[in-house]
Structure 1
Amino acid sequence: MKSKDELIGLQHSIADKAEIFDDFGDIKLVGGVDQGFIERDYVVSVAVTIGVGGDLVEKSVSVRELDFPYIPGLLAFREAPSAIDALSSLDRAPDIVLVDGSGIIHPRRAGMATHIGVELDLPTIGVTKNLLCGELVSEPNKVGDCTEIRLDGDLVGYCFLTKKACNPIYVSPGHRVSPKTAVEVVDNCLDGYKLPEPIRLADQLVGEEKNNYK
């Protein structure tokens, strides 16, 4: 395994390659990818695609033996290979992918969504339940509110209150998407739940896949 310094260097390289502006056409297929763990030995990733009407079009599953330790800030090296496998196995690549993980809301602006996006050269958006770094300009007050998250003065994403009586989610571009468009795409993928449908569905399917190994 590479040293921690080498891996951090790779993250800086990934961040340099990331395009934080809109670079995609019409969105007809939205992808979602999530991952979970079987005990401490395997990571399970499920990738889905959802059509314009919200119906599941396709799913793909990847199960890989874990060969990278848990190191905060370097989680993409542990989890992204399985997610990349699942996305690469889809018969048709999605036009944009929502990733359960950070995009550029990351100390080196190279979270899971950025890692996957640059590796596959796909437009990606990171969606998380916890703020990894950065500062909130203000707290969202009501459902539908989005408030800026800034890192070293730069806009890196939004805090988005998507459902009443729930904590907000944190949305950031991964690759080939701007911050504003990232939150607009997530908003368009909401269907009454806290999480956007592609990630919510992928999360459900990860749970089902994990049950198969009990």
Structure 2
Amino acid sequence: MEVPPFPRPKDLEEAQALQKPLAAKVVVEGSLEGVRRLAALDASHKPGRPLVAVALLYDLEKGPLQVGKAQVPEEELFPYVPGFLSFREAPAYLEALKALPEAPEALLVDGQGIAHPRGLGIASHLGVHLDLPSVGVAKSLLFGRPERPLPREAGSAVRLLAPDGRPVGYAYRSRTGVRPLYVSPGHRVGLEEALALVKGLPTRFRLPEPLRLAHLEALRALRALD
């Protein structure tokens, strides 16, 4: 898969300046009907080791197919700052995607889409950068608030609202009693379509299966460095 080079800002001020024009390019509409092959993206890192990124190509009918992996040395990583995750992890994800034998039709990313203070979480950033439909599935809330309490039952979802009242995603309960996931469109996907994709994925545990498998692959690759 061919990917364009990713910008490497020198500091947070430059990173924020890069986010603003890209956020204006995000398209929050579009259907995933007919999409069959996703790339599920997850990364792992611990101090003193490279960051390991995984792109797991997942066929919605057949299941997991191939895995692309990449590493970024710790000294080359952008600092971890909430709201700027894409500058830390996206370069490794792009290398992992390049390692796949074929390009995905859409991205499923461990992180935020438009549920982000500047409307450009890592799923949105990657979606715009690659001009691919993308959906963010985050394990913690970064931006917005649920419009009402989320029921405990599996499949429950309530909208996430920005401070100005705009819907930016959903709090979603994938399994009864587990902690919520936060689903938001990244790029070229509507709000309801993003949620429908995640709801339709096999989910044995808390994470949708493509992201769970990508997460396990990233953990295995990181342990192999020890």
Give the structure-2-normalised TM-score: 0.89
Structure-2 separation of matches of 1:40 and 1:114: 29
Provide the residue aligned with 1:103 in structure 2. 113
Q: How many Å apart are 1:24 and its aligned residue?
A: 5.3
SS at match of 2:24: helix
Give the structure-1-normalised TM-score: 0.94
Show structure 1 runs of 4+ deviating over 6 A. none
Among candidates 29, 32, 41, match of residue 33 of structure 1: 41
Number of residue pairs matched by the alignment? 214
Structure-2 separation of matches of 1:110 and 1:40: 29
Q: How many Å apart are 1:149 and its aligned residue?
A: 0.3
Q: Mapping of 1:90-129 within 5 angstroms?
A: 90-129=100-139
Q: How many Å apart are 1:71 and its aligned residue?
A: 2.2
Provide the residue aligned with 1:44 in structure 2. 52
Provide the residue aligned with 1:147 in structure 2. 158
Structure-2 separation of matches of 1:60 and 1:104: 26
Deviates more, 1:203-212 or 1:21-30: 21-30
Structure-2 separation of matches of 1:127 and 1:38: 22
Q: Mapping of 1:57-72 within 5 angstroms?
A: 57-66=65-74, 67=76, 68-72=78-82
Instruction: Say if 1:147 and 1:160, in contact at 8 Å, map to a contact too.
Output: yes
Provide the residue aligned with 1:160 in structure 2. 172
Provide the residue aligned with 2:86 in structure 1. 76
Q: How many Å apart are 1:38 and its aligned residue?
A: 4.2
Instruction: Say if 1:38 and 1:213, in contact at 8 Å, map to a contact too.
Output: no
Q: How many Å apart are 1:143 and its aligned residue?
A: 1.4
Q: How many Å apart are 1:115 and its aligned residue?
A: 1.1
Q: How many Å apart are 1:41 and its aligned residue?
A: 4.1
Q: Cα gap change, 1:23/1:89 in structure 2, threshold over 3 Å: closer, same or farther?
A: farther
Structure-1 separation of matches of 2:82 and 2:199: 29
Q: How many Å apart are 1:112 and its aligned residue?
A: 0.8
Structure-2 separation of matches of 1:89 and 1:124: 19
Provide the residue aligned with 2:4 in structure 1. none
Deviations 1:15-42 (A, max 9, x none): 1111111165511112201001143441
SS at match of 1:79: helix
Give 1:211's aligned amino acid: R
Give 2:155's aligned amino acid: G
Instruction: Say if 2:112 and 2:136, in contact at 8 Å, map to a contact too.
Output: yes
Deviations 1:113-147 (A, max 9, x none): 11111111111100011110112101221211110
Instruction: Say if 1:38 and 1:44, in contact at 8 Å, map to a contact too.
Output: no
Structure-1 separation of matches of 2:174 and 2:31: 26
Q: Cα gap change, 1:147/1:54 in structure 2, threshold over 3 Å: closer, same or farther?
A: farther
Structure-2 separation of matches of 1:33 and 1:109: 19
Provide the residue aligned with 1:181 in structure 2. 193
Among candidates 181, 196, 210, match of residue 222 of structure 2: 210
Provide the residue aligned with 2:3 in structure 1. none
Structure-2 separation of matches of 1:25 and 1:168: 25
Instruction: Say if 1:124 and 1:173, in contact at 8 Å, map to a contact too.
Output: yes
Provide the residue aligned with 1:19 in structure 2. 27
Structure-2 separation of matches of 1:176 and 1:45: 23
